Amino acid sequence: MGVIEYYKERVIKMRNGNYPLYETTVFEDFRIMTENVAKKYPDRVAISYKKDPHDSETVKVTYSQARDYIRDLGTELISMGFRDKHVALIGESSYEWICSYFCLMSVGSVVVPVDKDLPVDDIAGIMSFAECEAVVYSPLVEDKIETIRAGGLQLKHYVCMGKTDKEYAVNINDLVRKGGERFKNGDNSYYDYKIDPERLATIVFTSGTTGKGKGVMLSQKNIVTDMTQGMYLFAITPKTMCVLPPHHTYGSTVNFVGHFSQGSEIYISSGLKYFMNEIKEQKPQHLILVPLFVETMHKRIWQNAEKTGKAKMLRTMIKVSNALRKIGIDLRRKLFRSIHENFGGKLEMIICGGASLNQDIIDFFEAIGITILNGYGITECAPLVSCNRNKYQKKGSVGIPIIGEQIKIKDPDENGEGEICVKGPNVMLGYYKDPEATARVFDEEGYFRTGDYGRLDEEGWLYITGRLKNIIILSNGKNVYPEEIETEISRIYGVSEVVVYAGESKAQKSKEVIVAEIFPDFEALSMRGIDNVQEYFNNEVKKINNRMAPYKAVKLVKIRNEEFQKNASKKILRFVIDKNID
């Protein structure tokens, strides 16, 4: 029995009844992907964006136009010797970034996506370590590239994804024009090249929250199977809006590969400051977000309700709507029309991953008519591992494994909780130039050890408990998962961000004090007349302590005046937090 047939049989057995797999587009590599979708939907809009966020005009590129751009660029890059070369790709999400990524994959380069916001030394370090011989970059980082070049890191080729006056750089559109002429004159090198989907295709440097990241080696097979086998589980809509950074696998794989391959229009946001205006104008039907975005949307809805004196009415409407839905009457799009209009009026679904999301927020959006599909992924798995489904979710779960994925819980405790381990065609080749680290993360059965703790229920649904590196081990041997306590504290009104950790005392040399460090939403607290923030949170956390096991009790609440430092994926950097309590 094949994996798809097995999975269909498994789906039928679910308690929800027969919830079939969705149709998806199957492809073996990036070139086949771009060719297939161009043939199937030649005139459908693939990518849209604004040259200037203040303009009313939206540029729309069809699938056949995108395919031609990728092919022509690839033809020229092959003539320049890019095949088999390591190439850094640095910049914000753009039409040129997406096409460059797809093109480099299709011509046999090894793509090294780099966070444009990294310091110059870090960017230079990654390019040097990854043995890059060329760079494709955005005009926004040209000064950094100039500094890196002046510092001694000389590359063979510099390709700017926009206008440039540097004598050593070439404009990407000039390369596309030259490659187009080559193709018209009979150069078929782009199509003649045989892609090996199992060889190294990209090196993705993780932006770790607990220290220095590693170079994750992924093949085209890793990425392609992650999407072709993942897309069976949920239905995407005809249009999404991209707000995630492109250098991370969540953005490049799920947002770009996943949607492009399925024929969905990808509108590229002009940036966070334009997000609310553009979502109203572009009217996407679904979004791919990290929890911070969803939490911000949730907070803005309630802040607006508080300011206009409609918070009590909103709570009442949610109760009424939920009661009506129980008897088969769904009026959510009408009852909460004003909220929906703030998000363009067509938003149906949000796929959320990258970190844990409070179930209360998921329930709220469901109550007003926007489904949130919570999932789980990790860079080493390209990244999708599991997800909830459009019409079948479990509260608190990050869903069921994608097709072909095997998940086991290593060394489970009495609650069935242990390290989440994954095996499947989407699991990485290893860490670049680090065989020791690679060996450490694969167990004796070939499973990748994620470093995340969780459990599987009797139907195979996955639940995340916390991160192995974050676990607080008390002197009595008890394990405390900070994420569990953070989830409870985040439900307190006025909490913007919270991190729980073991406090360090230089005087007492003890780590027994569990600390909750909170960045409050001062505006929200002010609306309710809460002036003594420390006293308020002390009292609220005590209520939580009374509901939890004594050894999990928070002993100290610290208030901070600025938000926590985060990486490009909007995850809090725990390792930079000052844990001293003296």
| Structural domain includes residue 430 | no
The whole domain housing 476 covers 471-576
Same domain? 566 vs 455? no
Q: Two tokens at 513?
A: 């004090």
With CA atoms as reference, report the closest residue to 237 among 275, 263, 256, 276.
263
Q: Would you state the pLDDT for residue 124?
A: 95
Same domain? 362 vs 502? no
Angle at 578 between CA 519 and CA 545, to 5 degrees: 55
Same domain? 413 vs 547? no
Same domain? 455 vs 522? no
**What does the pLDDT look like over 169-216, one tens digit per residue?**
999 999 999 999 999 999 999 999 999 999 999 999 986 544 457 999
Instruction: Give the end of a domain, one of 437, 468, 499.
Output: 468
Phi/psi class of residue 219: alpha, beta or left (left: φ > 0; alpha: ψ in -120 to 50)? beta
d(CA 475, CA 473): 7
Q: Would you state the pLDDT for residue 18?
A: 58
CATH of the domain at 248: 3.40.50.12780
| Structural domain includes residue 436 | no
| Structural domain includes residue 534 | yes
Query: What's the structural domain count of the chain?
Result: 3
Same domain? 272 vs 373? no
| Structural domain includes residue 111 | yes
Residue 71 and residue 190 in contact, taking contact as beta carbons nearer than 8 Å: yes
| Structural domain includes residue 493 | yes
CATH of the domain at 549: 3.30.300.30
* pTM of the shown model: 0.86
CA torsion through residues 24, 26, 29, 30, sign: negative
Instruction: Give the end of a domain, one of 256, 282, 308.
Output: 282
Same domain? 300 vs 247? no
Q: Would you state the pLDDT for residue 185?
A: 98
Same domain? 145 vs 181? yes
With CA atoms as reference, report the closest residue to 40 among 360, 357, 320, 261.
261
Same domain? 146 vs 42? yes
Same domain? 276 vs 258? yes
Instruction: Give the end of a domain, one of 259, 282, 305.
Output: 282
| Structural domain includes residue 75 | yes
Q: Would you state the pLDDT for residue 11?
A: 44
| Structural domain includes residue 322 | yes
Q: Would you state the pLDDT for residue 506?
A: 63
Q: What share of the chain is helix, strand, coil (3-state, %, to 5)?
A: 40, 20, 40
Same domain? 234 vs 302? no
Kindly give the parts of the chain with pLDDT less than 70: 1-19, 207-212, 476-477, 505-511, 569
| Structural domain includes residue 514 | yes
Same domain? 257 vs 333? no
Question: Helices H, strands E: what count in the chain?
Answer: 21, 26
Same domain? 453 vs 552? no
Q: Would you state the pLDDT for residue 17?
A: 47
